Structure 1
Amino acid sequence: MALQKTLDAILVVGPSGMVGKVLCQALISRKSEFKRIAFFNDTSRPETEEKRQLFATFRNGGMEQVSGLYTDTEAFTGFDCVLMPLGNHAIKFQPTIIDTGIKAGVRHFYPSEWGADLTAGSNRTQRYYRDKVLTREHLEKRGRDEDTPDLGWTYIQLGRLAEWSIIKHFGIDNANHTADIYGTPEGRQSLLSTADAIAYTIETLRHPFSVADNGHRRPYRFHGASPTWKEIFDELEAITGHRYSVTYHDVESAVEKEARAKAVGDVDLELEASHQLIQGRGGTLLPEPFNNNLFPNIHPESVHSIFEKIFRDENMRKFLGY
């Protein structure tokens, strides 16, 4: 029988983002199960009081802080796994992080996925996922190197994080109860709460694998629910007590919007239009089979409960523009 292993020394790169914060908090809550848990402080970025307080909270919870640049081999030494919950503008640095980690002895990476399956539909060709695709290609290339046959990775695929699905960037104006959606009322997308996505992620860290037969190169699909746009707006109206005025646009018109954004150099608008194409074409609908049954102790929260909870939370209400 091939030797089974788990991931025991964990470094989180990108700890201050929405996913990174929840991930670090979850690791702290289960720190006794790991030999080492740490977060990476990127010293090329400005220090803020909010970040100082957040990092102090992590340290007080039992996480180690390592500081440096993405090219600092020493900062990555002693870890067997690096998780990268990075935002859209930082994803492009992942190949550099991977190369530095490999040089330091890291042999397992969780790239910034926590979203749609890049192999579904036309996702792999979309601008929104360009740097995620380049990261996958880089991992696969390094995995073919003669000196790193043991290089592994984990892709966490879940459709979309439910909390992000109803923000203005994706066409929903909660302050004015209006929405511009590329697609139809019957269009579906798969949604899972951030808390459940991270709960599954932690379980995968403890899930034994073997280097034999590519067992160390793992895609997981975790499903919560796949509501239609109509069902989503029915939930929002029930929770807020306001009727939403929704305009549905032809999906392919987002192609022109993306081209205009690219022409004027507006990267955020370009990404927004690209995601509207993905969403409208069903790219955020997670294909089966799902892997929820591997971890039956997790029971995904309903979409109604997720929305109800975030509309009650003052910080999340600001995030929603409400």
Structure 2
Amino acid sequence: MASQTLNAILVVGPTGSIGKVLCQSLISRKSEFKRIAFFNDTSRPETEEKRALFDTFRNGGMEQVSGQYKDTEPFVGFDCVLMPLGNHAIKFQPTIIDSAITAGVRHFYTSEWGADLSVGSNWTQRYYRDKVFTREHLEKRGHDTDTPDLGWTYIQLGRLTEWSIIKHFGIDNTNYVANIYGTPEGRQSLLPTKDAVAYTMKTLKHPFSTANNGHRRTYRFHGSSPTWNEIFNDLEAITGHKYTVTYHDVETAVEKEARAKRLNDVELELEASHQLIQGRGGTLLPEPFDNALFPDIHPEPVHSVFERVFKDPETRKFIGAP
């Protein structure tokens, strides 16, 4: 069976940290594709910031398609949908998938760009619940008699380097205080956003066939796997401030998660769930890695990423730095 690549790309979730970089990368390489577009979800409110961002995308050569996730028409004419959606939008992926399949789409990049769901207790963690539902939905649709050519790509990298030092994950860069569930020697796999997107772009043009499930792919891209000690050494060297770090028994997050459920506090529940994932080593990416498939990409070291993040006003705000 002949190999194929993905040539008509629609980004659903273009305003997030990964979505914006994906759109910018598609624009920079638009000559390699037949069609590139972003999805404007009309159920969400318009903001000046979003209008300005969409203007930038259109001026760069992207097409805007508008509608709601249950609509079929916006998905017509695309062979691949990228879904870099945030925590609260991931639950809509099965609806997006069904609408897009009806429109003729046959390949999906779901909201992975993170840890391996098969590691440790990840599959049963609340933080990944909607990602699991999405995978199960794809598997089910992939067994339907009318969609044997349905394919998907999972990009796994551990965690985005820039995200590893935000308050949600226990680090207060304003007061130089941290509360970490785990130990100083606990490791996590990190890859910068720009490199995660660079690898993603390569996979779009990586040939595959529908024979032997070749259209159902998982890639693991690794940057580095520093310990918490190494991360805080880097932060202290960059900021010139000593961080006061408290390490907590991982399993105490179980009660925190249960309390969040009783309070119906979704944000706290997600936070506690991720603390369990992080402390149990769930963000450590298992080998084998697929970096060698694309040897021209050289992931930026962690220290360099942190330096860059602290220098840029926008990313400083993102990590809560003064």
* Both structures adopt the same fold (TM-score exceeding 0.5): yes
Residue identity in the other structure for 1:296: P
Aligned positions of 1:171-186 closer than 5 A: 171-186=170-185
**SS state at 2:117 partner:** coil
Aligned positions of 1:146-161 closer than 5 A: 146-161=145-160
Aligned to 2:119: 120
RMSD: 0.4
Query: Residues 126-147 of structure 1, C-alpha deviation per residue, up to 9 Å, x if partnerless?
Result: 0000000000000000000000
Q: TM-score w.r.t. structure 1 length?
A: 0.99
Residue identity in the other structure for 1:40: F
Shift of 1:71: 1.1
**Structure 2: gaps of 5 or more residues:** none
Aligned to 1:29: 28
Aligned to 1:87: 86
Mapped partners of 1:119, 1:39: distance in 2: 30
Residue identity in the other structure for 1:213: N
Residue identity in the other structure for 1:308: E
Aligned to 1:166: 165
Aligned positions of 1:294-309 closer than 5 A: 294-309=293-308
Residue identity in the other structure for 1:318: K
**SS state at 2:127 partner:** helix
Query: Residues 72-92 of structure 1, C-alpha deviation per residue, up to 9 Å, x if partnerless?
Result: 111000000000000000000
Shift of 1:197: 0.1
Mapped partners of 2:317, 2:39: distance in 1: 27
Query: Residues 50-105 of structure 1, C-alpha deviation per residue, up to 9 Å, x if partnerless?
Result: 00000000000000000000011110000000000000000000000000000000
Shift of 1:264: 0.5
Aligned to 1:72: 71
Mapped partners of 1:222, 1:59: distance in 2: 30
**SS state at 2:11 partner:** strand
Structure 1 segments of 4 or more deviating over 3 A? none
**Structure 1: gaps of 5 or more residues:** none
Mapped partners of 1:276, 1:72: distance in 2: 37
Mapped partners of 2:26, 2:261: distance in 1: 39
Query: Residues 262-292 of structure 1, C-alpha deviation per residue, up to 9 Å, x if partnerless?
Result: 1101101100000000000000000000000
Aligned to 1:281: 280
What is the percent sequence identity of the aligned residues?
A: 80
Mapped partners of 2:300, 2:128: distance in 1: 27
Aligned to 2:141: 142
Mapped partners of 2:32, 2:156: distance in 1: 24
Mapped partners of 2:28, 2:71: distance in 1: 28
**SS state at 1:165 partner:** helix
Query: Residues 165-188 of structure 1, C-alpha deviation per residue, up to 9 Å, x if partnerless?
Result: 000000000000000000000000
Aligned to 1:111: 110
2:124 pairs with 1:131 = no
Aligned to 2:2: 3
Aligned positions of 1:173-252 closer than 5 A: 173-252=172-251
Aligned to 1:264: 263
Mapped partners of 2:211, 2:234: distance in 1: 46
Query: Residues 211-255 of structure 1, C-alpha deviation per residue, up to 9 Å, x if partnerless?
Result: 000000000000000000000000000000000000000000000
Mapped partners of 2:244, 2:165: distance in 1: 14
Mapped partners of 2:26, 2:239: distance in 1: 34
**SS state at 2:19 partner:** helix
**SS state at 1:145 partner:** coil
Residues matched between the structures, number: 321
Mapped partners of 1:250, 1:120: distance in 2: 20
Mapped partners of 2:4, 2:29: distance in 1: 18
Query: Residues 26-51 of structure 1, C-alpha deviation per residue, up to 9 Å, x if partnerless?
Result: 00000000000000000000000000
Mapped partners of 1:268, 1:163: distance in 2: 20
Q: TM-score w.r.t. structure 2 length?
A: 0.99
